[in-house]
Amino acid sequence: MTTPTIELKPSAHPLPAAEREKILASPGFGRHFTDHMVTIRWTEGRGWHDAQLVPYAPLSIDPANMTLHYAQTIFEGLKAYRRPDGSVATFRPEANAQRFQRSARRLGMPELPVETFLAACDALVEQDKGWVPAHGGEESLYLRPFMFAAEVGLGVKPANEYLFLVIASPAGAYFPGGVKPVSIWLSEDRVRAVPGGMGDAKTGGNYAASLLAQAEAAEKGCDQVAYLDAVEHKWVEELGGMNLYFVYGNGGKDGRPKIVTPTLTGSLLAGVTRDSLLTVARDLGYEAEEARVSIDQWQADTENGTLTEVFACGTAAVITPVGTVKRAGAEWQQSGGEPGEVTMKLRETLLNIQRGTSEDTHGWMHPL
């Protein structure tokens, strides 16, 4: 399968630089979008075609578009960072491209070749480079590749046409408080994804499934919901939109820190940040492992003092400490409600690689 050449049709009216700079000074998360987007169409019998970089604009959707009815849609999230010399690089885009293919397979959609995914992200970042925030702060340019069924009709079947897009949004902290610890509501009855269902696919439906429990978390005064497995309602899976890590401050060999993240069971997202942290932690001399963690163990290990920190991680969330945790009949604090030392060390180490201030020893950065 050959990668279609992306035809460049740039905007004649990009946002004036002064207005763009105003947005970049305080971008928030997912509120502003750059001047362009990439679109590539797939049609049965023809494959990928009509690859274009065009001005960012609304799409015209037929009311009978099959995605609106049957939710055949997948997405990714990755970031581009400004480096000290002013150049720009994205973080592990191949990992996102490969996960996008896995999600496509699960949803019965065509697989976008990895090189086409990379070319589309590169073309957009190259064109909208001025939207990548300055080096040194928390900000970056968040890329959102996604694909949905473009066939019009009401029959339930895999569509015969799809549209792949990449849009970009300058991003500050996902949570308004930045690295201030977030509070978690442990949902013990509602589940997010089920093994054998859409499982670990990064599809809108899995996020839609999380929204009611997220609203319940907000009613309990919490920022995020944590899910348990769908079968035994016992094993910790992930938050509504990010993975979890548990820090045992002296849990490793010779009293070194040990970090533990829930094993990939097929129903929790194989996060790129989650995966990277297993390596970053080992680089720092910590132990890092994937294991099943039960909700009762989470509470008991906090109470007996061995579980010293908990944090959330994801492309959007980076690494965000967890403070208050609530479940029916109990409430506790992780690391006294303050960001933990191991959490902040991992955060700084990963961000330094991403921002280009530490050596990229694992070949994770993809320079433009």
Burial of 272 (0-12, 13-18, 19+ CB in 10 A): buried
Q: Which stretch binds ligand COI (CB under 6 A): 101-109, 186-194, 275-283, 310-318?
A: 310-318
Distance CA 131, CA 127 (A): 9
Helix axis angle for 272-283 and 341-355, nearest 10°, is 110
Lookup result for tokens 């980076």: 318
Position with the least CB separation from ligand COI = 77
The yes or no reply on residue 316 touching ligand COI (CB under 6 A) is yes
- The residue (of 15 and 318) whose beta carbon lies closer to ligand COI is 318
By CB atoms closer than 10 A (0-12, 13-18, 19+), residue 267 is buried
Residue 124 CB: number of other CB atoms within 10 A? 27
Task: Considering the complex, state which of residue 148 and residue 248 has its C-beta at the smaller distance from ligand COI.
Answer: 148
The gap between the terminal CA atoms of the chain, to the nearest Å, is 23
SS3 38: strand
Judged on CB neighbours under 10 Å (0-12, 13-18, 19+), 117 is buried
Q: How far is the CB of 315 from ligand COI (least distance, A)?
A: 3
276 vs 302 by CB, closer to ligand COI: 276
222 or 307, CB closer to ligand COI? 222
- Report the DSSP beta bridge partners of residue 148: 73, 163
- Say whether residue 140 binds ligand COI (CB under 6 A): no
* H or E element at residue 275: helix 272-283
- List the one residue from 4, 93, 314, 356 that touches ligand COI (CB under 6 A): 314
Tokens 């978390």, residue located: 217
> By CB under 6 A, which span of 118-126, 191-199, 277-285, 311-319 interacts with ligand COI?
311-319
CB of 77 or CB of 181, closer to ligand COI: 77
Does residue 315 interact with ligand COI by CB under 6 A? yes
Question: How many Cα atoms sit within 13 Å of 130 on the Cβ side?
Answer: 14
Distance (Å, whole) CA 309 – CA 89: 31
- At its nearest, how many Å lie between ligand COI and the CB of residue 43? 28
Least separation, in Å, of the C-beta of 338 and ligand COI?
Answer: 24
Contact region for ligand COI (CB under 6 A) — 128-136, 275-283, 308-316, 321-329? 308-316
267 interacts with ligand COI by CB under 6 A: no
Task: Please identify, using beta-carbon distances, which residue of 258 and 355 lies nearer to ligand COI.
Answer: 355
Least distance from ligand COI to the Cβ atom of residue 179, Å: 16
Comparing CA positions, the residue from 122, 270, 138 lying closest to residue 193 is: 270
Site string for ligand COI, 229-248 (x = CB under 6 A): ------------xx------
76 or 128, CB closer to ligand COI?
76
Nearest distance, CB of residue 88 and ligand COI, angstroms = 18
Closest CA to 235 of 197, 265, 202: 265
- In this structure, the chain runs to a length of 368
Please, which of residues 57-86 interact with ligand COI by CB under 6 A? Answer: 77
**What are the tokens at 127?**
């064109």
Q: Which of residues 180-199 bind ligand COI (CB under 6 A)?
A: none
Write down the least CB distance from residue 133 to ligand COI, Å: 17
- 90 counts as binding ligand COI under rule CB under 6 A: no
Residues that bind ligand COI (CB under 6 A): 77, 241-242, 314-316
